[in-house]
Every structure is written in C-alpha cells, then in structure tokens.
C-alpha cells in the first residue's frame, strides 16, 4: 500500500557550531514520508513548490528517497517557505518561519484536482500543520473530500502537530481540530501539543477525547515518558527502552510516525510498530536537523 502524504516542505537552516548553519529541507509531513520510505514503506507527496533551484533540489532529493513526486504541483514565480532551527542546551528546538507566500498554502485552491487525486489512495496522512496552511473555504472542501474518502473505505491518519503561531488563535485551532477528529481513523498525536490546545489534563482524558470523536486507533507520543496506545478498546503503555539526552529533537515525532506506519503497512504486530517508531525517533534525535544521513540504521529491520 502506498500512502498519500499531504503538506508542505520548506528550506531548512539548522544551527551547527556557533553561528554556522547548514542548508537542507524539511517539514513535518515530508519528514514522515522520508522515514516511512527509509523503513521500507511507500509514499507519494502532495504539495506545491516553485520553479526555482531550491524546489528542484527538493524534488531530486525526494526521488532519491523513493518518494513519488507525480502529484507535486509547480507554481511559476513562487518560492518555498523557509525556517531556521535553533537548539538550546537540552537539544530542544526553536523555530523561526518565513512561509506566508509559500505555494503550498494555495495548493487546494490553485489545483482543486488534488482532492480527486488523493482519493485513489488507500491511506492519507496529514498533520495539524497541514490544516493550518489552508484558508477556510479550502478547509471546507478538504473536509468534504475526506468524508467521502472514508465512506469509500479510505483510511485517514492524522498527527496533531499544533504550532500556535500558525493559527489566528487557539479557539480557531480547536474548532478545526475538533472537525478533523471526526474524520480520523488513526491518530498519532503529541501529548505536549494536546496540552497546548486543551490545557493540563491526563493521558486518559486525551485518549478519551479522540475515542469519543470516533477514532479507533490512538497513539499518544509523550517524549521521554514513552507512549500510549489505544486500539481494539485496549489501552497499553510502552516505556522507552532507554532515555537519551537528545542533540536535536526536530522530527522526533515525524520519524516515529514514518517507522510506525511502515511497520503497520507491513502487517507487523502492533507492539512491533510501536517499537519501530520509538527506535527510529531515538536514533533521529541524536543528530542535527530533521533528516539524518541515509546510511544510519533506523530500526532493527534495516536503514
């Protein structure tokens, strides 16, 4: 099964030694697509780029990763967004964005055929950041598309990935997320982001909110505290095998998603899916930037 991954990729400047920065590319859903493919899954990426050299470099790199690019739209006289990653002494990342004119923001209005193209896939993956890109009319059209898609048997996978600066306010984000929850089959969510949206609450309350909305499979990623899984009306906790001091937590959750979905698509036991996600994320956080070198093994199953 090949996954349709929908979102935005940007030029990435990641802090190295001192004031030195390394240029690369990244974006939450693109990161997931890359790690999904590296863990022997298959993905096609849906986004819009410009006709500039940086966009072309992205396309070349994605093809080398095995990501399908036939649905990437190219908009003339446009440039992709850009972000800078700074890390504090604990490896926690801090972002600065320049993305207001990114062509990915108008993907659905400029290329409405995308809503038909994604329906041919058995699984769609997107995130809260994906939702934050689109204006209200595009969101309505997109939600209608997902509703029809699920009625036809399609599976929707959603990572909450809430970034406050991407939204007009928390109330707007909660309203959009509440609708998205009713259209989700598999939720791969960050507990920190849930607390940012809904205030302090327990993991159990978090899971119940998603289950009450109709989500059948919920993974709550909680950093070094491990993760929780709700599936088949059972709640299981999976601690980390070891707690590491991260170099850079960028793409920790995204890489978990990629490895988890790759294992799931290979019909592995759910415990093995969780283990693959945790192992992949534990590897990625020990290197700078969202995308680590391809020769680094991510799971026991290979690189």
Those residues with Cβ within 8 angstroms of residue 181's Cβ, 6 or more apart along the chain or in another chain: 158, 187, 209, 210, 213, 214, 215
Beta carbons of 185 and 217 less than 8 angstroms apart: yes
pLDDT confidence of residue 291: 87
Beta carbons of 9 and 80 less than 8 angstroms apart: yes
pLDDT confidence of residue 93: 67
pLDDT digit string (tens) for 141-175? 999 999 999 999 999 999 999 999 999 999 999 99
pLDDT tens for the chain, residues 1 to 303: 999 999 999 998 887 777 888 888 889 999 999 999 999 999 999 999 999 999 999 999 999 999 999 999 999 999 999 988 777 777 666 778 898 899 999 999 999 999 999 999 999 999 999 999 999 999 999 999 999 999 999 999 999 999 999 999 999 999 999 999 999 999 999 999 999 999 999 999 999 999 999 999 999 999 999 999 999 999 999 999 877 888 888 889 999 999 999 999 999 999 999 999 999 999 999 988 788 899 898 976 544
Give the burial string for 159-177 (b: 16+ CB within 10 Å, else e). bbbbbeeebeeeeebeebb
pLDDT confidence of residue 300: 64
Residue 121 gets which letter from DSSP?
A: S
77 burial type by CB count under 10 A (0-12 exposed, 13-18 middle, 19+ buried): exposed
Collapsing DSSP to helix, strand or coil, 171 comes out as helix
Collapsing DSSP to helix, strand or coil, 65 comes out as helix
Angle at 260 between CA 259 and CA 264, to 5 degrees: 115
pLDDT confidence of residue 256: 97
Collapsing DSSP to helix, strand or coil, 298 comes out as coil
Confirm whether 254 is a catalytic residue. yes
Residues 57, 62, 66, 72: what is their CA dihedral angle, to the nearest 10 degrees? -110
pLDDT confidence of residue 188: 98
Report the distance separating Cα 300 and Cα 56, nearest Å.
33
Report the distance separating Cα 10 and Cα 166, nearest Å.
15
Beta carbons of 2 and 42 less than 8 angstroms apart: yes
Comparing CA positions, the residue from 187, 249, 288, 261 lying closest to residue 38 is: 261
Both structure tokens of 97 = 């964005």
Query: Distance of CA 270 to CAs 111, 122, 161, 229, Å?
Result: 37, 19, 22, 9
Q: Please pick, among 28, 254, 272, 300, the residue that the annotation labels catalytic.
A: 254
Q: Are strands 48-50 and 217-221 parallel, antiparallel or unpaired?
A: unpaired
Q: Are strands 123-127 and 155-159 parallel, antiparallel or unpaired?
A: parallel
């Amino acid at each position: 099964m090949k996954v349709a991954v929908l979102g935005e990729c940007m030029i990435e400047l990641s802090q190295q030694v001192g004031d030195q920065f390394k240029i690369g590319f990244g974006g939450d859903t693109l990161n997931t697509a890359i790690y999904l493919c590296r863990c022997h899954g298959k993905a096609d990426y849906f986004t819009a780029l410009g006709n500039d050299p940086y966009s072309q470099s992205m396309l070349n790199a994605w093809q080398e990763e095995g990501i399908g690019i036939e649905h990437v739209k190219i908009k003339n006289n446009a440039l992709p967004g850009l972000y800078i990653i700074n890390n504090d002494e604990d490896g926690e990342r801090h972002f600065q964005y320049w993305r207001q004119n990114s062509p990915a923001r108008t993907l659905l209005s400029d290329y409405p055929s995308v809503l038909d193209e994604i329906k041919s896939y058995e699984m769609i993956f997107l995130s809260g950041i994906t939702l934050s890109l689109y204006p209200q009319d595009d969101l309505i059209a997109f939600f209608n598309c997902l509703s029809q898609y699920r009625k036809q048997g399609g599976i929707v996978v959603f990572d909450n990935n809430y970034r406050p600066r991407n939204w007009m306010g928390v109330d707007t984000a909660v309203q959009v997320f509440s609708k998205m929850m009713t259209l989700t089959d598999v939720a791969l969510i960050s507990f920190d982001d849930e607390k940012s949206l809904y205030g302090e609450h327990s993991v159990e309350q978090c899971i119940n909110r998603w289950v009450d909305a109709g989500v059948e499979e919920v993974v709550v990623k909680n950093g070094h505290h491990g993760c929780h899984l709700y599936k088949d009306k059972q709640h299981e906790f999976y601690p980390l095998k070891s707690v590491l001091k991260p170099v850079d937590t960028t793409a920790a959750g995204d890489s978990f998603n990629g490895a988890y979905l790759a294992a799931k698509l290979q019909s592995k036991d759910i415990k093995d899916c969780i283990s693959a996600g945790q192992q992949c994320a534990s590897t990625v956080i020990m290197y700078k930037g969202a995308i680590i070198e391809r020769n680094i093994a991510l799971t026991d199953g290979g690189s």
